[in-house]
Structure 1
């Protein structure tokens, strides 16, 4: 389910109904993935501050026709772009959830990059532009940091277990819970900052409980 709160920082547009979605599907020639339909019923596309654009029904047909997506990426639908010359594709399958990106000049899924295996999770985590993550990785290569719990756990052990899983923290959950009673509490030491930033983005709202420090 799409978390409406996760959309609060996006530029949103008036939602569309089933009739409008059905009309565009007929025009394009196949059914949209259900997760994409669910998004359109909340906002007819969106744009993020990082330049990520998800197409609405007003432009999706034109974009797919202009770039001849059905010819060069048969079986796929272009549903957006990253603002840097790359298109987001999803399989033209109602059950599809996987999001990939291809260069606009090489509209071929064989040369794609994986954006997310879960379209809704990608949205709920902020619709991250993976190319910007790559730039951060290069800038922060070799730098280390500590992961620190600075705010009380709202969901108790459930929140902490999620953080433990995402960061692959070796400390036992009992020890982590005990330490979380006295903040700030260092969860991990000397981890690559690029990995820490990537994991924080994956945590979504839970990242607000944490901070990274002691960058070398």
Structure 2
């Protein structure tokens, strides 16, 4: 994980890194390098990034959680990776390249409610770090 990401996640509680096999599966999905790089040192976790709360799912939870939330059915093209702990998920919008980050409600999940919040995973963390409590 690069030093900029480490600095942004300084108040973050996390577990150790993900397994190489799990990381290989995630690389196959075409997720961004900045996102995948965090799993070398942390495997999921949660905490405040500035005034915003972030829950990052563990690497091995990403695929099962997307299946359990039926994301393909309700919001095709979105790949969730975590939440704000308050009813909204964060995910990659895989319908365009590079993948942008959206926030979408878990209840009433629908593409029409997916709101663009960042141009990349790093940009999301940077926005959270300086946010006054609202990404909008």
SS at match of 1:79: strand
Q: Which has the higher contact order (CA 8 A, sep 6+)?
A: 2
- Over residues 43-91 of structure 1, what are the superposed CA-to-partner deviations in whole Å (9 max), with x where a residue is unaligned? 2123113542111113222211111012222122111111111111102
Q: Which residue pairs with 1:108 in the alignment?
A: 110
- Over residues 102-140 of structure 1, what are the superposed CA-to-partner deviations in whole Å (9 max), with x where a residue is unaligned? 11122223222222123203224545778x327xxxxxx
CA distance in 1, matches of 2:115, 2:60: 26
Give unpaired runs (5+ residues) of structure 1: 135-197, 199-216
Give unpaired runs (5+ residues) of structure 2: none
CA distance in 1, matches of 2:3, 2:97: 16
The answer to whether the 8 A contact 2:93-2:102 is kept is no
- Aligned with residue 93 of structure 2, among 91, 115, 120: 91
CA distance in 2, matches of 1:114, 1:45: 22
- Aligned with residue 69 of structure 1, among 68, 71, 86: 71
- The CA RMSD measured in Å over matched residues stands at 3.0
- Relative to the length of structure 2, the TM-score reads 0.75
Q: Which residue pairs with 2:37 in the alignment?
A: 38
Report the structure number with the largest CA radius of gyration.
1
- Relative to the length of structure 1, the TM-score reads 0.51
CA distance in 2, matches of 1:64, 1:7: 24
Correspondences of 1:1-216 after superposition (within 5 Å) = 3=4, 4-23=6-25, 30-49=29-48, 50-92=52-94, 96-126=98-128, 132-133=133-134
Q: Which has the higher strand share?
A: 2
The answer to whether the 8 A contact 2:12-2:47 is kept is yes
CA distance in 2, matches of 1:93, 1:39: 23
Q: How many residues align?
A: 131
